[in-house]
């Protein structure tokens, strides 16, 4: 028993701990190896006997398996002068704890209960005893669902000490191969078994390659199978569904929208149509010039403010015209040439303006509509250096007051 514990301890010290090599849900396997049968049973020590077996395993959790196995070991025995052949059968069941899980293999400790049965010919005693079994070993992943394994374990019988062979130790070194039963484990459901999956945890519905890694054909960051807008052009920003963004919600995606922050549904480029230019404001019509009548100097004698008889007929026509102007006010302005002093000319022009006003009032034009003003020589309309020019400057103007 001491030897078996040393072997188990050394094997356990070899292990490290990283990500697990997953095990199939159920497995059936063959075992092959050797056994060291207790010398109390065979009469000699350190004799290795061949061992054959069958094994069944079932996964209980991420780090625990149930196992049961049946092994057969033929051996030779000797007791004093008597010798013969015998058969050792062990039937065990228990748990395996995966204490160190690696990418391709797992270290495990096993423990269980069972029964040890010995058949001996040539008069040897046959017996069956309960047993306690402990072991350590490795399980290596093979393919998608199989496993290669090795194990060293010790079986210790127990029972009533008064019985012969009540405490025997059987140490076994076994190798085996197990075939997984059922579909291999595929945690993320992408169709690639966990053992071959280089990208575990793929979102459900995403398409993957033969290594289990998600595909993204258009490179937009949304996996194929989840991408509702496959074939998005490179560089186009997309939402969580893989569809191009439409920031302003106008139905034109940002990559085609020249105005991505301005809603403009129905336009080809996403920009609002240009605002119609307002019709130009028509230029205001120029105000009509004040109506004006000019009475030449033929109305007055030189240096006089008395209207000539010949000019009265013209003033009669003027009075008729002013009646057609309505109720507007009218400036009656007198003007002279530059002959004489400015003061004299201004006074003379004022008298002439008042003479015309008085005549028009006499013809029925309301006095309050008329305003007599004398400007003298201050507003010439021609040169005072010529006779013709001086004649034009001697005048009376009737101008509508706005």
Question: For the chain (length 402 residues), average pLDDT per consecutive 10?
Answer: 44 43 87 88 73 95 94 82 82 96 92 92 80 96 92 88 69 95 83 83 88 87 88 86 85 84 81 77 74 72 80 83 83 90 90 89 88 92 89 87 80
Are the C-beta atoms of residues 332 and 370 closer than 8 Å to each other? Answer: yes
Task: Provide the phi-psi class of 346: left if phi over 0, else alpha when psi is between -120 and 50, else beta.
Answer: alpha
Residues 6+ apart with CB under 8 A from 185: 22, 23, 24, 25, 193, 194, 195
Distance between CA atoms of residues 304 and 301, nearest Å? 5
Helix, strand or coil, per DSSP, at residue 297: helix
Are the C-beta atoms of residues 165 and 29 closer than 8 Å to each other? Answer: no
Q: What is the DSSP pairing of strand 82-101 with strand 146-157?
A: unpaired
Alpha helices, H only, 215-341: 309-324
CB half-sphere exposure, 74, CA atoms < 13 A: 3
Each domain of the chain, given as residue ranges in start order, spans 2-181, 216-259, 292-401
State both tokens at 185: 């484990």
Length of the chain: 402
State both tokens at 391: 């004649």
For residue 129, report the phi and psi dihedrals to the nearest 5 degrees: -135, 145
Architecture of domain 2-181 in this structure: Beta Barrel (2.40)
Are the C-beta atoms of residues 188 and 205 closer than 8 Å to each other? Answer: no
Are the C-beta atoms of residues 335 and 395 closer than 8 Å to each other? Answer: yes
Same fold for the domain at 2-181 and the one at 292-401? no
pTM attached to this predicted model: 0.53
- Residue 74 pairs in a beta bridge with 87
State both tokens at 390: 């001086």
End-to-end CA distance of the chain: 137
State both tokens at 216: 């993204």
Architecture of domain 292-401 in this structure: 2-Layer Sandwich (3.30)
CA 362-364-367 angle, to 5 degrees, is 75
Query: 3-state SS string over 166-189?
Result: CCCEEEEEEEEEEEEECCCCCCCC
- Residue 91 pairs in a beta bridge with 70, 115
Are the C-beta atoms of residues 192 and 199 closer than 8 Å to each other? Answer: no
Residue with tokens 């070991």: 73
pLDDT at position 44: 64
Residues 6+ apart with CB under 8 A from 286: none
State both tokens at 393: 């400057």
pLDDT at position 8: 43
State both tokens at 184: 């291999």
The total of other beta-carbon atoms located within 10 Å of residue 142's CB is 16
Q: Of all helices (H) and strands (E), which one includes residue 238?
A: none
In angstroms, the Cα distances linking 274 to 255, 267, 281, 343 are 21, 11, 20, 68
State both tokens at 229: 């807008």
State both tokens at 113: 């209960």
pLDDT at position 308: 83
Helix, strand or coil, per DSSP, at residue 309: helix
């Amino acid at each position: 028993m001491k030897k078996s514990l040393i072997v188990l301890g050394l094997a356990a010290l070899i292990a490290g701990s990283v990500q697990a090599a997953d095990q199939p849900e159920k497995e059936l396997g063959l075992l092959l190896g050797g056994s060291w049968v207790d010398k109390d049973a065979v009469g000699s020590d350190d004799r290795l006997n061949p061992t054959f077996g069958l094994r069944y395993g079932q996964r209980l959790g991420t780090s625990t398996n149930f196992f049961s196995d049946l092994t057969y070991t033929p051996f030779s025995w000797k007791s004093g002068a008597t010798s013969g052949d015998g058969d050792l059968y062990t039937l065990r069941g228990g748990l395996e704890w995966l204490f160190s899980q690696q990418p391709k293999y797992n270290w495990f400790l096993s423990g269980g209960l069972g029964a040890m049965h010995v058949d001996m010919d040539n008069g040897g005693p046959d017996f069956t005893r309960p047993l306690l079994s402990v072991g350590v070993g490795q399980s290596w992943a093979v393919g998608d669902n199989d496993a290669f394994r090795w194990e060293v374990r010790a079986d210790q019988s127990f029972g009533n000490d008064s019985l012969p062979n009540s405490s025997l130790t059987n140490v076994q070194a076994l190798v085996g191969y197990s075939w997984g039963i059922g579909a291999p484990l595929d945690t993320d459901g992408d169709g690639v078994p966990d053992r071959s999956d280089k990208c575990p945890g793929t979102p459900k519905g995403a398409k993957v390659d033969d290594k289990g890694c998600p595909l993204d054909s258009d490179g937009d960051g949304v996996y194929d199978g989840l991408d509702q807008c496959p074939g998005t052009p490179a560089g186009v920003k997309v939402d969580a569904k893989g569809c191009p963004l439409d920031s302003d919600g106008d139905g034109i995606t940002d990559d085609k929208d020249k105005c991505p922050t301005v809603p403009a549904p129905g336009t080809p480029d996403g920009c609002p149509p240009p605002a119609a230019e307002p019709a130009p404001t028509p230029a205001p019509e120029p105000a009509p010039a004040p109506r004006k009548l000019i009475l030449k100097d033929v109305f007055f004698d030189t240096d006089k403010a008395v209207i000539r008889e010949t000019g009265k007929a013209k003033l009669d026509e003027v009075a008729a015209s002013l009646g057609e102007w309505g109720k507007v006010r009218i400036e009656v302005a007198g003007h002279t040439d530059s002959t004489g002093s400015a003061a004299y000319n201004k006074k003379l022009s004022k008298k002439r303006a008042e003479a015309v006003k008085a005549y028009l009032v006499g013809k029925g034009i309301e006095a309050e509509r008329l305003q007599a003003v004398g400007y003298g020589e201050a507003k010439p309309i021609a040169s005072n250096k010529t006779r013709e020019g001086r004649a034009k400057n001697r005048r009376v103007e009737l101008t509508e007051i706005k």
